[in-house]
Amino acid sequence: MKLVTTPRIDLLRQLRDQFQRDYPRGRTMLAVDGASGSGTAEFADGLAAVFGEAGRAVFRASIDDFHRPREQRYARGRDDAAGYWLDSFDYSLFRRALIEPFRLAGSTGFQLVGFDEGRDVGAQLRWTTGPQDAVLIVDGVFLNRPELRGIWHGSMRLQVPRTVAYERLHARLGVDTDPAAASNARYVGGEALYRKDDDPAARASVIVDNTDEARPQWVFADFC
């Protein structure tokens, strides 16, 4: 059967093939990092689909499923940018419940969801197992921060203009389309702290311009 192809799927397959050449076997982990509204979840889902198409066992997770409780997330104030950057996610739980057991392979179970954000409680334990050769694809914000540095076999940084990101967030969540609006200060400021402290684009294996989600572009650095 002939495979469906589009510019988006073609790029996803190119990224998959490069990763598979570098890591053809074993348990491997791939991050899809980007600011809110950059499209990380959809991009990671597409990557999972093309890995599956190639016969690789693939698992999907999101850092959004490892939030801290609201009391901890907003301890510095609901509009505080540092609170978004420093307090949003439970990286210890993320590593303990998902990353470390996934690395062990064998019959060790791992948990793809650690926190129920809607109910503001820990998620029900659902342990998953997989084969020796498998890839875990994780999407979300701040994935190249210090607590997660060194765990990824590859990481992708999605870039979109801030105005485009907030148009998407408005359509999905109803937020103000103006990035400079006071209601967006927590998130715009937190992302700025991430870029200042950790330079995620420099740490990524691959940079993708995801302004047009139907035609994402692999961005190559200019060398002089």
Separation CA 129–CA 101 (nearest Å): 9
Q: Say how far residue 110 (Cα) sits from the centre of its chain.
A: 18
Contact between 136 and 31 (Cβ < 8 Å):
no
| Average confidence (pLDDT) over 128-147 | 95
What does the pLDDT look like over 165-187, one tens digit per residue?
999 999 999 999 999 999 999 99
For residues 55-59, average pLDDT? 96
Kindly state the greatest CA–CA separation across the chain. Answer: 55
Could you tell me which residue, 4 or 95, shows the higher pLDDT? 95
| Model pLDDT for residues 13-33, shown as the tens digit of each residue | 999 999 999 999 999 999 999
pLDDT at residue 220 in the model: 83
Average pLDDT of the residues in 105-123? 92
The residues spanned by each domain of the chain are 27-211
- Written as six digits, the tokens of 153 are 């076999």
pLDDT above 50: residue 224: no
Let me know: does 94 contact 102? Beta carbons within 8 Å. no
Rounded to two decimals, the pTM is 0.95
Quick one: pLDDT at residue 60?
98
Q: Which pLDDT does position 180 carry in this prediction? A: 96
Q: What is the pLDDT of residues 96-113, one digit of tens each?
A: 999 999 999 888 899 999
Class of the CATH domain delimited by 27-211: alpha beta
Q: What is the pLDDT of residue 1?
A: 58
Give the residue carrying structure tokens 């505080």: 80
pLDDT at 223: 42
* pLDDT, position 170: 97
CB 180: neighbour CB atoms within 10 A?
Answer: 10
Give 195-206 pLDDT, tens digit per residue: 998 899 999 999
